[in-house]
Amino acid sequence: MKSAAWLQGHSGDRPSFQATVCRTFSTRPYQVFAMPQGLLFLEVRNKPGVAKEANTGAIVLGGVLGGALGAGIAHAMTSGPSDSGKAENFELCSEDELFQIAKERKRSFVSKLDEIQSITIDAPSGLSRMFADSTLAGWITLRDRKLGKVSMEIHDQASMQIAVDALPRRLKERVFVNVEFDHQTTKFRPKGR
């Protein structure tokens, strides 16, 4: 009972969701924490499936060029010790530990509460669903005085639900939620459709 209350106390005051931050020439996975001070974007490493997806082309090419032996060599070359498939678990970390991890990861960053101008949460519509990744649940656009525009892709419905619930509570009238949950499809859709 004590440990359950302790765990709820740590994760309840700082909900988090997974997002892919899209910059001009790169996309990176982050765990985004809605903290009292603002949003902490903690760079994710060793995310399950990421290394495998990135290495599939090399393995196929190795298979074409050298059969099973070539595919095995390509897999060995593209797999490293960090390709263990283990997800990082930040839920048990204290706020101080999270900020320390963020300092150690050069791509992590913070959007301070008083610098956030607006956040818009949108869902893919019919046409954009056809051309977007099939796992895309929605987009979040953050406008920050210092960071500028930060675009995020949300690739699972659970993370989208956490963002839709947590961000308006934390940032009130600065958040514009343009989505609603469709119980038939179990996906978020644009409001009013």
State pLDDT tens for residues 133-171: 678 899 999 999 999 999 999 999 999 999 999 999 999
* Judgement on whether residues 146 and 160 belong to the same structural domain of the protein: yes
> 74: domain range?
49-85
138 found inside a domain: yes
Find the length of the chain: 193
How many domains is the chain partitioned into structurally? 2
3 found inside a domain: no
Nearest to 95 by CA among 16, 26, 172, 21: 16
142 found inside a domain: yes
Threshold 0.75, pTM exceeds: no
Q: Are 74 and 62 in contact (CB under 8 A)?
A: yes
* Judgement on whether residues 167 and 104 belong to the same structural domain of the protein: yes
pLDDT in tens, 64-88: 444 444 444 544 444 444 333 345 7
Q: Are 22 and 152 in contact (CB under 8 A)?
A: yes
- Enter the DSSP assignment of 14: S
Residue 185 burial (CB < 10 Å; 0-12/13-18/19+)?
exposed
* Judgement on whether residues 72 and 142 belong to the same structural domain of the protein: no
* Judgement on whether residues 96 and 131 belong to the same structural domain of the protein: yes
